[in-house]
Amino acid sequence: MKMTPNNVIIACDFASTTRLFEFLKLFGERRPYLKIGMELFYAAGPEVVRELKQEGFPIFLDLKLHDIPNTVKKAMAVLSHLDIDMCNLHASGTSEMMRAAVEGLTREDGTRPLLLAVTQLTSTSEQRMHDDLLISGKMEQVVIHYALNAKNAGLDGVVCSPLEARPVKQACGNSFLAVTPGVRFADSLNQDQVRVTTPRMARQMGSDYIVVGRPITAAADPLMAYLRCLDEFNGSV
């Protein structure tokens, strides 16, 4: 039997562990990939990550580190001991910071969680990038430049808009990962996401993993919504 890849990451944007564990009960024995972000991590601490790992859930810890190289290296060493599967940082912290992060994240046996770079946040418009950050050039150019820096520093991929997945892969190679949020079903509301794609379109545009929050967490039947995402993204419907 062909196994469906565990490539739909549920964004667990809950304010408490009580809500999180109520939600996860709906999944029975299934172990979907979970994204834990700042909200839950700052509220519940590393203990929630240990508990989820003990129960067998793959974890993307979305803390977007950005600091001096030595601080990021030491923080990454702590995260790698949490036994997470994926984490991230801001590429704007420089190549030196990214290399330090890889070093810190690598365990004594040479293994490490996947490490992704945030290039430009999708909430930053090209205009704002020019005026506020004084970064000139086209958004796509900047995203590709940061993605290449990340690749050269030894990272595994980027978090980006599905619209950027193809150009990033053309520049960095097909095995360089594109993890993409902003996913909605064709028949649902966009909420506050502006440039959205369906799971099927995200796959066609080159995404390796999709990050899906409210279309699953706020669905009347979250398990059904999750299974639908998996099916659409993996091309079985």
Q: Which is nearer to ligand C5P, 104 or 182 (CB)?
A: 182
Considering the complex, what minimum distance in angstroms separates the CB of residue 163 from ligand C5P? Answer: 11
Separation of alpha carbons 15 and 164, rounded Å: 30
138-147 in b/e form (b: 16+ CB < 10 A) is ebbebbbebb
Considering the complex, what minimum distance in angstroms separates the CB of residue 90 from ligand C5P? Answer: 11
DSSP 33-92: EEEEEHHHHHHH-HHHHHHHHHTT--EEEEEEE-S-HHHHHHHHHHHHHTT-SEEEEEGG
Q: Does 182 bind ligand C5P (CB under 6 A)?
A: yes
Considering the complex, what minimum distance in angstroms separates the CB of residue 144 from ligand C5P? Answer: 16
Considering the complex, what minimum distance in angstroms separates the CB of residue 186 from ligand C5P? Answer: 15
> Nearest residue by C-beta to ligand C5P?
213
**207 in Cβ contact with 200 (< 8 Å):** no
Q: Does 121 bind ligand C5P (CB under 6 A)?
A: yes
Considering the complex, what minimum distance in angstroms separates the CB of residue 162 from ligand C5P? Answer: 11
Q: What is the DSSP letter of 29?
A: T
- β partners of residue 88: 116
Which one of the listed residues 35, 53, 64, 74 is annotated catalytic? 64
Q: Which of residues 62-101 bind ligand C5P (CB under 6 A)?
A: none
Q: Which is nearer to ligand C5P, 79 or 159 (CB)?
A: 159
Q: How many CA atoms lie within 13 A of 125 on its CB side?
A: 5
Q: Which of residues 35-64 bind ligand C5P (CB under 6 A)?
A: 37
Q: Which is nearer to ligand C5P, 157 or 213 (CB)?
A: 213
Residue 194: how many other CB atoms lie within 10 Å: 10
Separation of alpha carbons 169 and 158, rounded Å: 10
Q: Is 74 a catalytic residue?
A: no
**24 in Cβ contact with 40 (< 8 Å):** no
Q: Which of residues 11-40 bind ligand C5P (CB under 6 A)?
A: 11, 13, 37
Separation of alpha carbons 199 and 24, rounded Å: 21
- Binding-residue total with ligand C5P (CB under 6 A): 14
Q: Does 122 bind ligand C5P (CB under 6 A)?
A: yes
Residue type at 203? R
Q: Which of residues 184-213 bind ligand C5P (CB under 6 A)?
A: 193, 211-213
Q: Does 105 bind ligand C5P (CB under 6 A)?
A: no
Kindly list the residues in this chain that would bind ligand C5P in the complex (CB under 6 A): 11, 13, 37, 121-122, 159, 181-182, 193, 211-215
The residues that are catalytic are: 64
